[in-house]
Chains A and B, each alone.
Chain A
Amino acid sequence: MNRYRFLLFSFLPLMVHGQNVLIKNGTVLTVTQGTRENTDVLVTNGKIARIDKNIATPQGVNVIDATGLYVMPGIIDCHSHIALDVVNEATSPVTAEVNVGDALDPLDVSIYRALAGGVTATHAMHGSANAIGGQCETLKLRYGTVNPDDLRMQGAPRTIKFALGENPIRVHGEGNKISPNSRMGVEQVFRNAFSEAQLYMKDWDDYKKGITKSSPAYNLRNETIADIIKGNILIHCHSYRADEILMLMRVLKDFGVKKITFQHVNEGFKVAPELAAFGATASVFADWWAYKFEVYYSTAYNAAILTKNGVVTSINSDSEELIRHLYHEAAKTQKYGNLTDDQALALITINPAKQLGIDKMVGSLEVGKDADIAIFKGHPLSVYAVPQKTLVDGQVRFDIMKDPDDMRVDINPAEKYASFYESNVNSEEDGCLRGISETLLQEGNSNYLRFKYSQNQDH
């Protein structure tokens, strides 16, 4: 990707862990334990050590005065593609062996912009070209580092991207003339992949038990799918229509797989009782719809219907733009469905944490959890809210008072500005196929192979 490399000098040198700080006298929105006025949050070694009134300032601890401000858990984006060099390995309907964690880009300026919207963690996902796509990586937004490994959230479970519907059908059926070419074919891709992995597991079992003498060939794709069957990898599945959601739950039931988060899931509201009964969770857009046919029958009340039907629901961005105001996206559920403040805030904090299996570490302001904290002027669910400071592990990674006018490190004196991108300011908001649509419009063709090999993200 031909992209500028950016870095904030002011954040260097940085420590990845172990900050001490006292956030004084804010309105603390714990999300899980109510709202506490005029309350302090003490951070020791990057963890929340105490939440209480009038905590005495320990020696050597930096103080952030949060008087008149709101203090909330750092926002977690359950569906993101920022901080990635590449998104799709669109070479086969099944590519479980690849991992976006091999393509992290710690210098992506989108990380900083997300921090400026109160986001502290993202689920960096593979794209939706393949029915079984690559493995994903849960990141902490430690912007300022040049080491990709510093972005990884230690202790986060493994996750993998699945995809249903138009995208895998267009890439493989229409583009490559191989199955899946319809939603029928998508089901069989899963059944085939899971069955292969079961046979692979049995071959290894037989070998280990001495039933067979020569070992089976090691196969990373089957190893990965076997780990899904064993429950070691969480599935996050790009999906839209009610029928395909039901299909995947049937397939998973047949193979004994229990944990799944449906992503986008615009028609989740139609099958909310089935999702709740299965124990599936949902990560949705606040209001994106109609950018493609499979989201034509959508409603902005999706998150509210799912929540009220007992489905653990989150609101995600899937976008370098939306990620900057997820607090506003969450607030839309108050307009569309009258969710309470805590319900709305849970959609971008504790609920995505549950979906990523990291809710013991982040997602609420509780003693013992990581000090991933966003500080707002104005209630974060107000359209007038302005993020002030964002802390990851107690380290301030965004501070509106120190926000630089020029984000470049490698300033070329001959070049006053970086390139201007018309597409940035004329965002079409057509979600999953955004970059691709642009390509098609520009080139005036409908060659899906081009779409397939383009660097654009197809979500």
Chain B
Amino acid sequence: MNKVYIIIFAFLFTFAFGNLSAQQVKKAEKGIFLLKGGTLHTITAGTYVGDILLKDGIISEIGREIASAPNAKVIDCTGKHIYPGLIDSGTRLGLSEVSSVSVTNDFSDLGDFVPHMKALTAVNPNAVAIPVTRVNGVTTVFTKPSGGTFPGTGALIDLFGYSPEQMSAGSERVILNFPSTGKRGRFDRRSDEDIKKDAVKAQKNINDVWDNAIQYMKMDSSAKAENQKWMTNNPQMDALLPIVLGKAPLFIEVNSKGDIEGALDWLKDKKIKAVLTGVAEGWRVADKIAKAKIAVITGPMLSVPGRDNDRYDAAYTNAGKMSKAGIKVAIRTDGSENTRNLPFNAGFAAAYGMGVEEALKAVTINAAEIFGVADKYGSLEKNKVANLFVSNGDPFETKTQIEKLYIRGWNIPLESRHTLLYDEFLERTPGLK
């Protein structure tokens, strides 16, 4: 009799530990994969039924038919759809684990002028939200710091890897929060005059910073021209150098109509590259943004209008209106744990005027172009990074299932905390008895 109990106990014990270990997802699979007969949504070269070969982390071949590939594992994708991995152009994924628990948040450091704070440093490759996000087809995200005027430098990362270096997609961008003349929220009790004063003061700070950055750039350039040793300890200014030199774009977070106009004005006499982010009221000044030929990262679509008097669908329609005005638009969720809703944000933009094709570009090739990585990301093309997924339909449609996921050519298990808890608890054992 005792033996029976021991066996039962041992069984339950194993069971319990089995479940504990199930909190980690399975290992990814390395290999050469030949995906045959799927509908390839290439984004840049049309949509057709064909084959795609993933080898050494890249798309090594793509076409209507790839006859054979040595040592390749062949995966039948007949009737399935293949899309490039979706790119979320603004998140805090990996920088925050539980947003209300401050010790788990690494997206904001002290100081108003800290452009040298690098998001990539603080990305946690094992953040629980990362698998949760990628199983919805989002393979790459821009993760960014926030708070203050120059909160730091965001990083484009692939959602697979065990160190920030492994995850880096090779693009980092400095962020400027343009002075806002809007209210921060309902709790903001500042008078209109005070808000204006704060904005003017913030604007003056930015201009001062900018003058210093120009001076710094001149000193740096002349030192380098004369091959002098240029000893400094000014990481803030070092972070701004590529922007002042016009080599990398400045990401300017700006939302209300007046502030967007202010940012465009501010940029006028500066010979720098810039991208506007947020841009909630871009629809009000779309012609001006288009004329300035500045690309835009906008979202989330699933938010309420910035003003109480605006149409209920202002945030749904914004991306489409800007896109129609000729602006290059990428979409972001601005999320952390629910970055997985990127396809639905794009779906709402598509439904409210943007159309599916443009919305797809906004989460693939447009994003890649804005981040300067279109040679590697954003479409199904030969020699691009093998970030893609196989689905049973339109990835924006809510009930569509992702059936295969590849990041950098690795076959990623479609597991996350959410799926594992489902597997464990759908039919809980023991149940009531």
Contact = CB atoms under 8 A, between A and B. Distances in A.
Interface of A: 1-4, 6, 109-110, 112-113, 116, 269-270, 272-274, 277, 287-293, 296-301, 304-305, 308, 320-321, 324-325, 328, 331-332, 334-337, 378, 381-386, 403-408, 417-430, 433, 435, 437-439, 441-442, 446, 454-456
Contact of B311 (A273, A331, A403, A421): A403
B417 A299 contact: yes
Contacts of B212: none
A292 B309 contact: no
A341 B305 CA distance: 30
A291 B337 contact: yes
Contacts, number: 226
A361 B344 CA distance: 33
A420 B281 CA distance: 10
A287 B307 contact: no
Contacts of B303: 321, 424-427
A301 B186 contact: no
A336 B189 CA distance: 42
Contact of A421 (B99, B306, B397, B418): B306
B309 A289 contact: no
A438 B146 CA distance: 13
A319 to B, nearest CB: 9
B335 interface: yes
Interface of B: 97-102, 128-129, 147, 180-189, 255-257, 278, 280-281, 300, 302-313, 315, 334-338, 340-341, 344, 347-348, 350-352, 396-401, 417-419, 421-422, 425-426, 428, 431-432
A109 B305 CA distance: 11
Q: Which residue of B147, B255, B256, B312 has the most chain A CB atoms within 10 A of its CB atom?
A: B312
Contact of B400 (A291, A335, A378): A335
A382 B399 CA distance: 8
Given A424-B303, A427-B303, A429-B335, A406 B426 contact: no
The 7 A-B pairs with the shortest beta carbon distances in the complex, nearest first, are A423-B185, A383-B347, A420-B182, A334-B399, A301-B422, A425-B280, A290-B337
A404 B305 CA distance: 14
Contact of B186 (A277, A300, A441, A456): A456
Contact of B431 (A273, A299, A335, A421): A273
B308 A4 contact: yes
B309 A299 contact: no
Contacts of B300: 427
Give the residue among A301, A305, A334, A421 with the most B Cβ atoms within 10 A.
Answer: A421
A172 B172 CA distance: 44
B315 A289 contact: no
Contacts of B185: 421-424, 435, 438, 442
A386 B351 contact: yes
Given A287-B338, A403-B311, A405-B311, A437 B100 contact: yes
A334 B392 CA distance: 13
Nearest to A334: B399
A316 to B, nearest CB: 16
A419 B428 CA distance: 51
- Dominant secondary structure of chain A at its interface with chain B: loop
A433 B338 contact: no
Contacts of B348: 325, 328, 383
Contacts of A297: 417, 421
B205 to A, nearest CB: 18
Contacts of A304: 422, 426
A387 B307 CA distance: 21
Contact of A287 (B189, B278, B311, B341): B341
A321 B101 CA distance: 23
B398 A381 contact: yes
Nearest to B281: A420
A128 to B, nearest CB: 14
Contacts of A290: 97-99, 128-129, 336-337
A3 B308 CA distance: 9
Contact of A292 (B101, B310, B428): B101
Nearest to B181: A420
Given A381-B399, A384-B347, A418 B307 contact: yes
Nearest to A117: B312
A200 B225 CA distance: 89
A424 B304 contact: yes
A102 B282 CA distance: 40
B136 to A, nearest CB: 8
Contacts of B304: 110, 113, 320-321, 324, 424-425, 427
A417 B255 CA distance: 14
A304 B427 CA distance: 11
B255 A420 contact: yes
Contacts of B312: 112-113, 116, 324, 403
A269 B421 CA distance: 9
B401 to A, nearest CB: 7
Contacts of B189: 2
A442 B425 contact: no
A381 B183 CA distance: 35
A269 to B, nearest CB: 5
Given A293-B98, A299-B419, A332-B398, 12 more contacts: A4-B309, A6-B308, A6-B309, A109-B309, A287-B340, A290-B337, A299-B417, A321-B302, A336-B422, A405-B311, A429-B337, A454-B187
A320 B399 CA distance: 24
Given A304-B422, A334-B398, A417 B351 contact: no
Contacts of A6: 308-309
A335 B398 contact: yes
Given A308-B426, A420-B255, A442-B184, A383 B308 contact: no
A342 B361 CA distance: 33
Contacts of B398: 328, 331-332, 334-335, 381-383
10 contacts: A4-B309, A113-B312, A273-B431, A299-B422, A417-B310, A420-B281, A422-B182, A435-B187, A438-B185, A441-B147
Nearest to A287: B338
Nearest to B432: A273
A435 B187 CA distance: 8
B422 A337 contact: yes
